[in-house]
Amino acid sequence: MLVLSDKIYSLAGYRILKQIYCGSKTLVYRGVKEQDQTPVVIKLIRNESPTFSEIAQFRNQYTITKNLNLPGIVQPLCLENYGSGYALIMEDFGGISLKDWVRQNKLQHGITLKEFFHIAIAIASSLEELHRSRIIHKDIKPANILINLSTLEVKIIDFSIATLVPREIQDLKNPNVLEGTLAYISPEQTGRMNRGIDYRSDFYSLGITFFELLTGQLPFTNTDPMELVHAHIAKQPPTLHQINPNHPLILSAIVSKLMAKNAEDRYQSALGLKYDLETCDRQWQESGNITTFDLATKDISGGSIPILSKGTGLTQKSCTNLFPWRSWRPWRFVISLLFEAKIPYKNKFAHLGCSPLPLILLCIEMRELIILILIYV
């Protein structure tokens, strides 16, 4: 059962001051820790009887970020038991979401280029740190990016569906229950592209976020979920320059590159994106104009997270990419004999859609097992 959005909660050890967000699944409040009067943000599950999936997502955002010390994310402080679920306690740096900031200032036609470059470079820096930490956010949008209007600090929030794995296979799902926000998800995140999700999915969502910040509108305005999924997969979005001819052509090209349908055509690293944004910012500050230049000259293909091949399923080739020190040939014959001798067990792997041989080989040496544990625990 969903609780009323204006209900005032009580949480032992904390004093709740005011509500700052009310969503379909969560409620967020500003409060104070009574022991030392530290300002905090408290996030609660709105459902009084949360499902296992809701609880798992709630724990996920704490588990993924608790050991990170990155300036570009809102730091979680602790996870408190609350009712049938949890209360996530986070730092309060006085931020407001970009979505609320744009709405409150009635910026129907987008923010200024000076404001944009500061925010965009900060987000690119944060994503570079996250991707280097092997984290894919999967829900980049203006509502999940906060800015402190006094210090101009920019931070990313909400890691409830973030993942630590190098690549995740997105299953075909009803568009009403897809992970992420439908207006911002990448084509591969819809589950209809026969390919896995890697960190380049964040770049697509970031491109739509940039587009919205600069134009005041989304590139795809479909209200029907299926039509919106189709648009992400098959329709080319308008360019910034088409919406507002005053925007520099090179900035329009950067945003269009981020929103490319194929991940290979997007930026391959946040570092390359940040360099191009800084180049634009420098030219804009110096002359009030931005000349065209070659994009992605500082791009690093693959970054710190391996980019695996198209399609689904774990193959011998993809395993080799993940563990390049693995020599497959010496073990192929022995393992094949052992496996073929246990033919009934082959059916156990049928649901994986791949050969079990690469999975067996991955666990032969202890160092590979350790890496797998580090990734998933």
- At 109 the pLDDT is 84
The answer to whether residue 283 is domain-embedded is: yes
Q: Same domain for 62 and 127?
A: no
Measured N-to-C along each axis, helices 270-287 and 113-132 cross at an angle, to the nearest 10 degrees, of: 160
The answer to whether residue 295 is domain-embedded is: no
CA distance 32 to 294: 49
Task: List Cα–Cα distances, 65 to 88, 339, 375, in angstroms.
Answer: 12, 40, 14
The answer to whether residue 298 is domain-embedded is: no
- At 332 the pLDDT is 43
- At 342 the pLDDT is 43
The answer to whether residue 44 is domain-embedded is: yes
Q: Pick from 91, 115, 145: which residue ends a domain? A: 91
Distance of alpha carbon 219 from the chain centroid: 19
The total number of structural domains that make up the chain: 3
Provide the β-strand partners of residue 39.
Answer: 32
* Chain position carrying tokens 């110096």: 286
| Residues with pLDDT less than 50, the chain | 1-2, 303-304, 308-309, 311-354, 357-358, 360-361, 364-365, 369, 371-372, 376-377
* Chain position carrying tokens 């625990």: 377
- At 324 the pLDDT is 42
261: its two tokens? 């349908």
CA distance 106 to 109: 9
- At 175 the pLDDT is 59
The answer to whether residue 5 is domain-embedded is: no
Where in the sequence is the domain holding 340, given as residue range(s)?
A: 316-376
Q: Same domain for 137 and 65?
A: no
Residues in the chain: 377
Q: Same domain for 130 and 257?
A: yes
Q: Where are the beta strands (DSSP E) in 23-166?
A: 26-33, 38-45, 76-82, 85-91, 96-97, 145-147, 154-156
